Amino acid sequence: MASSTSTRVLPSKFGRYALFDFIGKGGMAEIYLARAQTELGASRLCVVKQILPELAEHSQFAEMLIYEAKLAARLSHANVVQVFDLGKSDERLFIAMDYVEGFDLNELLKRCSKQKVPLPLEFALLIVGEALKGLGYAHRRLDDDGKPLGIVHRDMSPSNILVSFEGEVKLCDFGIARATELVESAEAGEIESDASIKGKAGYMSPEHARGEKIDARADIFAIGIVLWELLAGRRLYRRDDDLSLLEQARRAHIPELPRRGVANEDELHAIVDKALSIDPAGRYASAHAMHQDLEAYIGRAKLVASPLRLGEWLVANFGTDMVTQRRARERALAALELGAPVKLELLPPKTPLPSPVVERSPSSIAGAAMDVSPRSAPSLPILPDVTSPRKRSPVGYIVAALVAAVLVVVALLAMKRV
């Protein structure tokens, strides 16, 4: 789970990167939005993951992370986040990658549930289809001698599927789970600690959960779980007093999907069933094969969606308040570096958008309400198209602008003291 606090005062310098916004903290790294600067003055927006000191000091972890990051850096595809730098600065090991302006699928589903905005089925299938394209490319990638690199993601969960405001779908963190598991195995003797891998256990193939050797078909099983959850509107595995998530993953009991009355539903369920075969030999042999079947179903069911429409839906329902505020902080950072006075601009309030009116259609599935009980994972909302959100009062904009102005000034003063 990401943390809301950073160990740094922002904005701050980190090697050739200017860190200006804290994204979150997970079990492996602190994540920042940054601007990379070249010697010629060119710059690019990016994400910097600073590996936690306790992990970076683990020699085996550092070696494995470097190895996996180098493999990930060889991936160049529209559906894969590009890793372009790996190094060490201020005694901190880091990875730098392209910034995708939007949400990861996990965050998107949380926002959908909180604001009662169902995710249309055609967009859910588009997201899974695009993810499969990225997976297929990575699985097929060859080295310079024409031999398979053997890349397996190992953590194909919603938090590693990114959806941008342009409707792009990109996969991130290829291979990093392998380095993390190495440390967990060293500390626990084997992969037994449910607490240490709680973010992954819910999307593990049974052979992965048992600690056996895995291949690309483990990723197929994981993306099959993602698709199952999107169709069911809830998590596949739930926290239970008797069975840990890891034990549930080992047993891989897959409940039958509820029937929603969508077109050619049996065909869609058959795709999910094949992806979730307990025996790897019964699964799709490749992500490309699964993508072909999914595309064929989408065409016959007439559920075709485009990235452009997905992006428009995201903006209409969740707005761009987050982007507006981050860009304001980036401009403040640029002004500080140039020694120019900082011009503060009005920012919209950082509050949830009102729930839009929902119009049900035959091509939609009725999503369940979010379950926030402490012992069960939240259910995942899906469905119909929605109208644009209602307009907000201009008073909110003014109040938020004043608050944002104070925060930016405090950050700039802190930066000068550093």
CATH code, 85 = 1.10.510.10
Q: Is the peptide bond between 349 and the residue preceding it cis, with omega within 30 degrees of 0?
A: no
One-letter identity of residue 372: V
Which of 288, 315, 342 is at the close of a domain?
315
What per-residue confidence (pLDDT) applies to 384? 44
Residue 140 within any structural domain of the chain: yes
- Indicate if 208 and 342 belong to the same structural domain: no
Percent of residues, the chain, with pLDDT higher than 70: 69
Indicate whether 294 pLDDT > 90. yes
Residue 381 within any structural domain of the chain: no
- Indicate if 265 and 407 belong to the same structural domain: no
What per-residue confidence (pLDDT) applies to 26? 77
Q: What is the mean pLDDT of residues 58-63?
A: 80
- Indicate if 205 and 348 belong to the same structural domain: no
Using pLDDT thresholds of 50, 70 and 90, give the confidence band for residue 71. confident
Mean pLDDT is lowest, of 84-98, 184-198, 284-298, for 184-198
Strand, coil or helix: what is 271?
Answer: helix
- Indicate if 84 and 223 belong to the same structural domain: yes
- Indicate if 324 and 176 belong to the same structural domain: no
Residue 151 within any structural domain of the chain: yes
What per-residue confidence (pLDDT) applies to 140? 96
- Indicate if 302 and 347 belong to the same structural domain: no
Domain ranges, residue 344: 319-354+394-417
Q: Which of the given ranges, 122-126, 153-157, 303-307, 386-390, has the highest pLDDT on average?
A: 122-126
- Indicate if 226 and 343 belong to the same structural domain: no
Task: Give the strands of the sheet with 169-171, arranged side by side.
Answer: 102-104, 161-164, 169-171
Residue 360 within any structural domain of the chain: no
- Indicate if 406 and 277 belong to the same structural domain: no
- Indicate if 264 and 329 belong to the same structural domain: no
Indicate whether 196 pLDDT > 90. no
- Indicate if 305 and 324 belong to the same structural domain: no
Residue 20: exposure state from Cβ atoms within 10 A (0-12, 13-18, ≥19): buried
Mean pLDDT is lowest, of 13-27, 107-121, 169-183, 255-269, for 169-183
- Indicate if 298 and 407 belong to the same structural domain: no
Indicate whether 228 pLDDT > 80. yes
Q: 363-399: per-residue pLDDT in tens?
A: 333 333 323 233 333 445 554 433 334 444 455 555 5
Contact 385, 356 (CB under 8 A): no
Using pLDDT thresholds of 50, 70 and 90, give the confidence band for residue 66. confident
Residue 377 within any structural domain of the chain: no
Strand, coil or helix: what is 331?
Answer: helix
What per-residue confidence (pLDDT) applies to 215? 94
* Number of domains observed in the structure of the chain: 2
Residue 289 within any structural domain of the chain: yes
What per-residue confidence (pLDDT) applies to 272? 98
Active site residues: 155
Task: Tell me the DSSP string of 154-204.
Answer: S--SGGGEEEETTS-EEE--TTHHHHHHHHHHHHHSSTT-TTTTHHHHTT-
CA 320 from centre of chain: 18
- Indicate if 109 and 168 belong to the same structural domain: yes
Percent of residues, the chain, with pLDDT higher than 90: 49
Indicate whether 229 pLDDT > 80. yes
Q: 76-127: per-residue pLDDT in tens?
A: 999 999 999 988 888 888 999 999 999 999 999 999 999 999 999 999 999 9
Residue 411 within any structural domain of the chain: yes
Which of 289, 315, 341 is at the close of a domain?
315
Which of 315, 332, 367 is at the close of a domain?
315
Average per-residue pLDDT for the chain:
79
Q: What is the mean pLDDT of residues 345-368?
A: 34
Residue 279 and residue 363: Cα distance in Å, rounded? Answer: 32
Residue 335 within any structural domain of the chain: yes
